[in-house]
Amino acid sequence: NDENFGALFVICWILVICGLVENAIVCCILIRKRKCFKSFSNFHLLNLAITDILFRAVSIPDLLPMELSGSNFTCKLIDFGKYTTLAVTFALLAGIAFDRYIHIVHPFRARRITWKHSRNVVILKWIYAAICSAPVLHSTEWVVHVNEETLETSGNCEDKHGLPFQISVTVFFACSFIIPLIFMGVVYGRIVSVLWSRARNKIINKNMAKVKIRVVKMMVLIVITYFITWGPKLILKTMETFLFASYVSEEDENEGSTGSMELDSAVVIFLLLEPISITFSLASSILNPLIFAYYNKAFREDLQAIFCGKSKIDC
């Protein structure tokens, strides 16, 4: 109803604004004193924050209370932007995992990595994300609806449900979410195994192992956060593509049957879970700065310097 929609609307806007502000702060901290150029991981974290800002920027039209005049081009462009920035986010997280793996497991190889390599890797991630999101261009369109009573027209960007849409969403879900998630799980598992083995065999001292494990814990927690916040949304989106097609088919062929009633229940459950998944997805990047602050003392000091100046007594 309108009351629930209004509450969801306000919550979404609060999450979007908080996400924009917090990611802007992360960018300031990493750019300040050129910290983003001191390590490959910091460079990726900067790009991660910028990508989150871009995602929220292209999501704003969906949260505006009024209808915007649009076209097929703007509809496809905005949807393509949302899918691409989301795919880049998971690609960057996978890149950070690989960077930690190289520096911890193969430290001598890490010395060969240059900023040219880092820049090229980020560019390749954007290209990969764009390729994963390209099918969306063929499965969304601008649809104009006409009110039969008032003859007023209203437009909306809608998915073209059918086999092409099912394929595009499934490919995106697999290539942009599942594959990076499996990759990160394997890589971080390997890192922990190597550190534990080296500490046990006294190849490195336990204190050094603890420091490295702490960094890995921070990144794993960020990955888990993205999985919890974005997983439900992407899973529901993938299920929606098949549920909608089945619902329309059953509604036409078996109206009033038990199968149709089961699909009706599934649709109701989906409609109840969708607002929750939207809220979770918008909360994703809000948690990242909190994780940085908890695990990284230098990040806390830089945050303090931005808001309180150089003097710690003033705070």
Cβ proximity of 190 and 101 under 8 Å: yes
Instruction: Give the count of beta carbons closer than 10 Å to the beta carbon of residue 4.
Output: 9
- Whole-model pTM over 0.75: yes
pLDDT tens by residue, 109-152: 777 777 778 888 899 999 999 999 988 888 888 777 676 666 66
Please count the other Cβ atoms lying within 10 Å of the Cβ belonging to residue 32: 12
In this prediction, residue 178 carries a pLDDT of 92
Q: Coil, strand or helix: which one is 135?
A: helix
Cβ count near 20 (within 10 Å): 17
Rounded Cα distance between 111 and 104, Å, is: 12
156-207 pLDDT tens trace:
777 777 788 888 888 899 999 999 999 988 998 888 888 888 777 777 777 7
Q: What is the pLDDT of residue 91?
A: 92
Residue 233 pLDDT class (50, 70, 90 cuts): confident
Tens of pLDDT, residue by residue over 67-79, are 656 677 888 888 8
For residues 15 and 48, what is the distance between their CA atoms, to the nearest angstrom? 17
Q: Residue 126 in contact with residue 88, Cβ under 8 Å?
A: yes
How much is the pLDDT for 258?
Answer: 47
- Characterise 256 by phi-psi region: left (phi > 0), alpha (psi -120 to 50), beta (else): left
Residue with tokens 């890995």: 216
Top-confidence range, 182-191, 244-253, 280-289, 291-300: 182-191
Which of 62, 45, 55, 61 has the alpha carbon at shortest distance from 20? 55
